Each structure stands twice: as C-alpha cells, then as structure tokens.
Structure 1
C-alpha cells in the first residue's frame, strides 16, 4: 500500500474591508533644518607611488582600486555681510582634501603552477582647491568680544586698572562636511627596471590620475512653501 500524504492544517482567511482615509491639506510655510549642497566639484589629483612586491612578480593580472577620504575641510577666505544680520555669506573658500587610494594588486609569481599573489597597498594623497562658485553659499557667524574700562572714582584723571566690564558673543556654526561621490582613476603601472623575458620584478611604479568628485554640504535652516496633509480616518472619534 502506498504511503498516504501527511495531513496539513489550513485556515481560510476572512476578507477585510478597505475604507480610504480622507486627506485634508492646508498651506503652510515650515522652517526646516537640512543638509544643503554648497558645491560639488571634481578635483584632479595626480600621484606617483612605488610599491614593493614580495614574492617577486612575473605578470600583473588585475588591480582593484577604491578611494577613502580622511578629510574634507572648507576654510572660508572671503565674505559678504547678510543684510539685516551680523552673519556673513562665504563667497570664496579653500577646500582641503586628503585620503588614500586602496589598491589590491593580483599578480603571478615565477612559481610553477603557483597560486596568484595578492598585495594590498594604500597610496595617500592630499591637496586643496579654490572654491569661488557655490550652489548655495555657506553661512558663517563671527564671534566677538568687547571690553569696557572705568575711571577712578577718586581721581578722574586716571583709569582703574582693577575694574573692567567684559562681553563675549560666541556663535556656534554648522561645520561644512563632505561626501564621496565618484572616483575615476587612470593609471600607468610598470616596473622601474625592465625585466628580461619571463623574468621577475619586485617593485612596481604607478602614475595615477584621479578625478575625484566630492559633495560639500552644510546644515542650514530653510523656509519652504508646502502643503500640510492631515489624514482623517473614515470613522473618526465623536466630538
């Protein structure tokens, strides 16, 4: 007699009704605080590096590259005042960039039927660029301090050196920051000493041209025009 299939317990699902909610909109002008793109430049970085290989190589098979940024810093150098405030728009700045190219080099050695060798190397780079065109200008508040002196109450011809009034205004600005967008790398790899046919080489020189696109941002407050949406259930509370 053939085996009977195992019984399975099932439950019939009850269909649910759908009642769409009513949506009511009203015009609002909210103030939001969001990251704003200040600039998105493409920087060309040219770097040369010599990387040792151990064991020695007979042929480079593949090179996999990635870029890691260690810093993206914006240093303002020119400003214009914002009318009606004591804040300034940045009109020119120096953009400092530093990081490294992580290279994964796969190569063959002179070992007969040997496994592929793997060499990981970090090629550092750094530099700066002059930013004069902004998609949105950075905002900067300048701190200030004041000092008031007093005359001697008993002799109006001399000041008091023990009595002063101090005022300090400190503005805490949103720090511009960076994001990595794209990295386009062109490179020439070769042994600094030309090996003989089927010979080995233990160093490789790399001349790299890196087109690096970064996004520079600053968190700012923006007033926007929008519609506020209120979702009202079909069956609301009684009131």
Structure 2
C-alpha cells in the first residue's frame, strides 16, 4: 500500500510546467448570414390538475415529496399559432408505513418503515401565442402538378377516313413535384412552480389499542396548480453585422 502511494507521488512530482500561446480565432469581417435559433416568444402558462394517487401499502404519514416537471411535447401549430403542451409531474413520495410486526406497537408508540413511491401525473393543454418577439417563418407548402402531351391517333373503322383522335397519351404519366423541408419551432423549459394540496380520502384508525388520532390510508386526492415558463424558438437565417477589427487584431490575423 505504501509502495503504491510512493510511486504515485513520484509521478505527480514529475509533472512540469508547459507553455501555451494564445491564438486569435478566425472570424468573418463585415456582414454575414448565419443560421441561429431565434426566440419567437416567451410564455407563462398555468395548469390545474386534480388526480388520485393510490399507494401500494398502508401509509401512516407522508414525510417528504420531491417533484420534477417533464415536458414530452411542445409543438407550435403554424399558421394557427396554437401551442400544444404535454408532459407530466414526476413525484417521489417518501412515507412511513406501519410495521407488519404488531407486537412492536403499544398504546403509546407505533413502529413504522420508511418507504418511497414514485408516480407520474400527466397533464396537457393548448394555448394561443398572441404576441411574438420575432415572427416565425411560415412553412412553405409542397406542390404537385401533372402535365400531358398531345397525340394524334387514327380512328377505327366507322369514322371518316380523314378524321383523327386528338387527345393526350394515356399510356404515359408526367408530374412535377416540389418538397420544402421547413424549420420546426421548438421549446425550452425555463422554470416551473408547483403549489399542491394532498388529502387522504380513506383514512381509518390503526387499531383499537393504537395511540389517539393515529391511523393509515392508501388513497390521496391531489390538487396541483402548475406555473410553467417556456421559451419558443425556431432556427432562422439572420444577417449579422460585425465591426472591423482593430489594428492589433488585424496584425495577429496576418501573422497567422
């Protein structure tokens, strides 16, 4: 053990200083066109949830609840400007469950085990984006057009000899199609705030010899108000202007 420590110490002592030289980055001067995420809007949403949570075993009391908001969908439907939100609240509930060993319970004490239960509470809503910081680029619609060529064919018997069938060729198919690959708006979750109220709906007394007021439950009715703040973006082409570098920077670039 000591030999290994001495070897590692020797390797660390062999570490020497090394020099580094700064380099000026290669940048474009003047006006350039860049493709960047553009902020379309920042929105605050409020959702109301009312759900029932059923525990896998009797619960004496809830010790702690940890929550995390997760979005599974945030989709702007153009050109309606309607924003569809879907997700869930991940809840990890730590609780005390009465011990199955009844002999450990007395008239003045209750033995319990500490457990946890994780559940996902789903939510969804639709809202309208009424104000844009930057206008979204509307999707271009695909197009498809058919075209034919004129043909003249002789007519069968029963028609005048000089007459011809003037039409298009049914044995051929011609088409021009155009597809546009539009940039899809996307979201970022900025912040979330949850106010909740949990209340047991089936609480009963523990047993006749249990301490006064003690009981257990397996179902909780939960009411939550969720405040979300989301940022709506879209990749767009933007013109970027940059000022001319100073003499020192220009000198550095020439040297490189």
TM superposition shift of 1:116: 2.0
TM superposition shift of 1:158: 3.1
Q: 1:175-199: CA deviations, max 9, x gaps?
A: 1111111111111100123545211
2:200 to 185, 191, 205: 191
Q: TM-score, normalised by structure 2?
A: 0.71
TM superposition shift of 1:59: 1.5
1:104 to 63, 88, 92: 92
Q: TM-score, normalised by structure 1?
A: 0.76
Aligned residue number for residue 188 of structure 2: 179
| Equivalenced residues, count | 215
Give the distance between the partners of 2:39 and 2:254, measured in 1 at CA.
44
TM superposition shift of 1:235: 9.9
Q: Which has the higher strand share?
A: 1
Give the distance between the partners of 2:62 and 2:132, measured in 1 at CA.
43
Give the distance between the partners of 1:41 and 1:20, measured in 2 at CA.
42
2:202–2:218 Cα contact (<8 Å) kept: no
Moved more, 154-163 or 134-143: 154-163
Aligned residue number for residue 63 of structure 2: 61
TM superposition shift of 1:69: 1.0
1:114 to 108, 112, 115: 112
> CA 1:19–1:172 in structure 2 vs 1: closer, same or farther (change >3 Å)?
closer
Aligned residue number for residue 150 of structure 2: 151
Aligned residue number for residue 141 of structure 1: 140
Corresponding residue SS for 1:100: strand
Give the distance between the partners of 1:166 and 1:35, measured in 2 at CA.
36
2:152–2:167 Cα contact (<8 Å) kept: no
> CA 1:233–1:226 in structure 2 vs 1: closer, same or farther (change >3 Å)?
closer
- Note the residue ranges of structure 2 that are not aligned, 5 or more in a row: 1-9, 100-109, 154-163, 206-212
> CA 1:200–1:28 in structure 2 vs 1: closer, same or farther (change >3 Å)?
same
Aligned residue number for residue 165 of structure 1: 174
1:67–1:101 Cα contact (<8 Å) kept: yes
> CA 1:33–1:41 in structure 2 vs 1: closer, same or farther (change >3 Å)?
same
Corresponding residue SS for 1:232: helix
> CA 1:227–1:115 in structure 2 vs 1: closer, same or farther (change >3 Å)?
farther
Give the distance between the partners of 1:226 and 1:152, measured in 2 at CA.
61
- Note the residue ranges of structure 1 that are not aligned, 5 or more in a row: 1-7, 78-91
Give the distance between the partners of 1:226 and 1:235, measured in 2 at CA.
19
Q: Which has the higher helix share?
A: 2
Q: 1:125-165: CA deviations, max 9, x gaps?
A: 12211223211121122221222233333447433333443
Corresponding residue SS for 2:117: strand
Give the distance between the partners of 2:86 and 2:63, measured in 1 at CA.
29
